[in-house]
Amino acid sequence: MKNTIAFPVKALSICVVSIMLSACGEGDGSTSSLVPPTVNLPVETPPVKPPVTSLPATPLEPSMPIKPPATSIPATPLEPSMPIKPPATSIPATPLEPSTPVKPPATSIPATPLEPSTPIKPLITSIPATPLEPSTPIKPPITSIPATPLEPSTPIKPPATSIPATPLEPSTPIKYPEPKKDIADFYLLGFFDHDGRAGEIRAIRPDLVGDFQAMIQFGQNHTVDPQGNEAKNMPRLTAEKEALLLVTPTLEMGDINKLAAEIYKDGVLLRTVNLADPTQIPDTDQTNTDQRPRVAYSKRAWSTKLNWDEVQGGLKIRIVDDQNRSGELSEDNIDFAAPGELVLTNIRLGMLTDAPQSWGHYMLRDPERAGSDYFQTIPAAQMTVASYDDMKLERVMVANGTIYDSVSDSNDAGVYAGDMRENTAKSTFGVGINLANWGVTSASMQSQEQPQLTQNVNAHHARGKYKNGEYNHGLSGGNGMLTLIDSQGNEFSHEIGHHYGLGHYSGEQNGDFFWAEHHANSGWGYNGVRNKMRSNLDWPRQVEGDGLTGKPLFLATYGYGRDAMSGGSQSGAYSNYTHYTGYSTKIKIQPAFDKAVFDADSPTGYKKWNAELRKMEVIQPKVWKESKNVWYNSTDGNYLKPRLQGVPVFTILGGYDPVAQKGIIYPEARGNWGNVFELPTPHNSLESASCWLSVTYSNNTINDIALAPNRMTSNANKFHVNLATSDNPKKVDLYCKKVNEAQVQLSTIDIRQYSDAIKPAVTFGKEQGYTALRKVELPILEQKLLAQAENSTISLDANGQLLYDSYKEYRDELSPLALQTLERYEKQQETLNRLNRWVNVYRTDLIKKEPEALTEFQKFVIDLELQDDKPLDNVTTIRNGNNCLKVETLEGGKLNSFISGPSGCTGDDSEQWIYDLKGKIHSKMALDQCLTEQGSWVVLGACSLDSPAQVWEMNGTDQIKQGGKCFDLRTGNLVDNRGSLITYNCSGGWNQKWTTLTKNPSFILATAGNNLPLIVDSLQKQPVSTDDMQTRSLSMDSKEEPSVLAKVSTAISNWIDNLVN
């Protein structure tokens, strides 16, 4: 049997053209005796237009046969006897007359004519099947006429820019173009896309007027609707506080590629902003690393952030899509609540003992983080966190007039009890500091009455010495004061909840806790400083209840969180405080912020929200003259206007008995925030009874401040006065006098001189934003970036990523080198986003291992310059002696890690581990599973990009650890040839000695997330090319009936054999 030469189609195309040009004399009237045999060809086959790369770059040797390249075969057979029309930009279609000068284009024709006898040698990828007659001049098409005359014998060299590396068929559509729009991860659940206790699909409410329809929500402390929130037991949108705008198009709008929001104030366009598509909605605070699915707020909502000064009366929003359809939310269809303000003062107080100290005093220890954190949970537009220096009282006065100097008489004291707890910590300091900030100088020590004119709260950590021992007081709150063990966690959220007016289990009705806990419509939250969504799910909490008794479940997968007043706790990644339910916020918390606020620009010192006008306006608050417990030192019934607002102060506190004429001035309490007033002076005539404080300043001026002259419902009164530290007060004396008697000095103190300035109070919200926190945290981000400036791959740890998400908009405050590193990091992240987007969009074909998909994916990886990334490098075992750490698959498909004895260690993939750049340890058997610390157990969990529980240190020793805890073989023994891996305080024992791993520098391994296994699998597969398959289909050994293409190939091959012979 005679061998035939099998040609791919593109080579056949060129062969036919070249043969016909040579054999037929290129139209010079001669005919060739060498013609191909007749074959049955399809009729009306158009001439094939060759690719740009078919132009030969170098002369051919006319006498040498040419082997065609292995390019693909066209689906339609060629007419071998017909000339092929070349593309306009490359091969001339008709021969030139030798005498006709041709003007070459500047970018492609050589300036110097070549010798006419120089033949043209084709490129390897575009060699014609037969040699060209070198003496035949070629006439270029109109689109390639040279600018200057050309000698007719000069061959044309194509421009370098016109030859692609791989010839494309112009008419072939690209099956796997790089996606420009992502799709949601397949494993992700959209929380608000479901509704009700049973998790039905939520209908999208049309909120707009126009030909574009969508549902609008705003995210602050809760995600709320523009209107109608009260009917759903939800709060309103808080005015003058930044918010996340959420836009969910109705299904009728179809596929949308782009959305923009036009933001108006009182009809004036402020700005136009492009919305982030649903895949870019802010991440959630999810912390669980078990095998339950991840949850986003929505897989359908587009989003952007609204500035604080845009969120106020007169706001109008117009949404426009890429088809120029638009819908409008008018200013009349947005309800606002008051832009309330919270001032929180904090102090540690020791009564006859030292003040308590604790890491849990979060508001004092770290006010920038603690304050900005709690601010996210409340419907306030501004929050100030202030503090006092720690205080120790050597002598203490209580309401019955007794003054202690060593120990209190109480013998039943405890966390909730003790006379100093009630009269000193709560009444004198807690209530007294608030009264001082309203310009009220004195009140009953027995009473804790206060007017709550503004939203001022004092939090104190107090410890007292009693007959029955020393006790810390705490776990109590209400009426403008919080007596706390810790100022973080649910204790703080719960106790200040009592201050707002909430009771325990608010909303519980006859055993139904639906309103006392979170549910599908109780509202998520938006953390503005971290740009994260706060869920109302309790992430670690496994499903409980049947979903019908008031304790619903989310899709039978997650339990809901509990309100702060219902045994709640925080479980999210970015907060130390509990997420209140929408119900609690609506019925008590938001109304509590509809109070006056201090305003230095107001002629009265105060402003308040006008709900009808939807703006703040000046008010003149009035005192309650009928009070028997508070001495309002006002002559006209008005609250005094502060002379100075929010300045460093010395708060002068103490007690006195006007009858027994004894009293005490406590050492000055130095604080960083307080209001200072022009206070009334006493009436010290002989006929009057009076009490007063006499303040002496450094310039020897004296200021007398009137106090209540009589007892007020208890033997002892308390006094509370703010003095500006900038006024340099030096001494304070306490005096009282009875009618027709001389004054008596009851107590005196010298104000200490301070060498250090007190740390300023911090304020969040409105024009302050989160500046105070940024001043603390941005330098940390700067150092993290500088530490990696020399690294080829920038890998931020969980904290670094959080800081980047928080402050990337403030990059201009970074140093040049840190900025350069940040920009490299962003470029790498964009590369990763492109990679994951490609996988998300073409996931189905990659899973099916479609050859074209695998080929194009691997090409795309090269385009991303990730071809040298090796996710499976540095794979090794983790051993404790002869024992090894393994992975097993349990019933139901769940993966479990355990320690195997030597006989079970075989070295297969279940024992192989990889250590990535971020410090995560991946199982080779399941690359998207990482070793995770979970309540001292080390388990397998879905690899997270930002979970500290998955970051492990290996410092060159034989320990694998997190902080001060190390990998540990539990109990130090195996049972039935297996054991458990836990973390335990590092001791250096043999059961904590492990083989360590070398970090794999793979960028893909560290950052690809859930797509990692599919990416690695797709990179390893060797796809079968279409050319190979087509070439094999034309094999001479094929026993199948040859196709038309095969017949053409065979006929032409025989013809070429004869020609060559």
Catalytic residues: 495
The vertex-962 CA angle with 959 and 965, nearest 5°, equals 70
CA distances from 59 to 52, 106, 154, 571 (A): 17, 22, 11, 75
Q: How far apart are CA 697 and CA 709, in angstroms?
A: 24
**Contact partners, residue 533, CB within 8 Å, separation at least 6:** 219, 281, 282, 283, 284, 285, 296, 297, 524, 525, 526, 527
Contact 883, 994 (CB under 8 A): no
Q: What stretches of 375-531 adopt beta strand conformation (E)? A: 380-387, 391-393, 396-397, 403-404, 442-444, 456-466, 469-473, 476-478, 481-483, 525-527
Q: How far apart are CA 952 and CA 933, in angstroms?
A: 9
Tokens of 137: 């001049």
Contact 822, 814 (CB under 8 A): yes
Kind plus residue range of the DSSP H or E element containing 1016: helix 1012-1020
Q: How far apart are CA 451 and CA 207, in angstroms?
A: 41
Q: Are strands 380-387 and 340-351 parallel, antiparallel or unpaired?
A: parallel
Distance of CA 416 to the CA centre of its chain: 41
| Number of neighbouring beta carbons within 10 Å of residue 529 | 21
Q: Consult the annotation and say whether 222 binds a ligand.
A: no
Q: How far apart are CA 28 and CA 17, in angstroms?
A: 16
Closest listed residue to residue 305, CA positions, set 797, 772, 770: 770
**Contact partners, residue 112, CB within 8 Å, separation at least 6:** none
Q: How far apart are CA 318 and CA 336, in angstroms?
A: 18
Q: How far apart are CA 423 and CA 708, in angstroms?
A: 18
Judged on CB neighbours under 10 Å (0-12, 13-18, 19+), 1022 is exposed
Q: Consult the annotation and say whether 494 binds a ligand.
A: yes
Written as one letter, the residue type at 700 is N
Closest listed residue to residue 136, CA positions, set 148, 119, 158, 157: 119
Q: How far apart are CA 277 and CA 255, in angstroms?
A: 12
Q: Consult the annotation and say whether 498 binds a ligand.
A: yes
Q: What is the DSSP string of 824-877?
A: HHHHHHHHHHHHHHHHHHTHHHHHTT-HHHHHHHHHHHHHTT-TT--TTTT-B-
Judged on CB neighbours under 10 Å (0-12, 13-18, 19+), 951 is buried
Judged on CB neighbours under 10 Å (0-12, 13-18, 19+), 344 is buried
Closest listed residue to residue 125, CA positions, set 22, 52, 64, 65: 52
SS3 at position 559: strand
Q: Are strands 189-190 and 295-296 parallel, antiparallel or unpaired?
A: parallel
Kind plus residue range of the DSSP H or E element containing 346: strand 340-351
Contact 440, 707 (CB under 8 A): no
Tokens 């020590």 label which residue? 445
Closest listed residue to residue 577, CA positions, set 296, 313, 847, 378: 378
Q: 939 φ, ψ to 5°?
A: -125, 170
Beta bridge mates, 731: 696, 750
Q: How far apart are CA 789 and CA 312, in angstroms?
A: 43
Q: 1054 φ, ψ to 5°?
A: -60, -40
Total length of the chain: 1061
Q: How far apart are CA 201 and CA 232, in angstroms?
A: 18
Annotated binding site for Zn(2+): 494, 498, 504
Cite the annotated binding site by residue number: 494, 498, 504
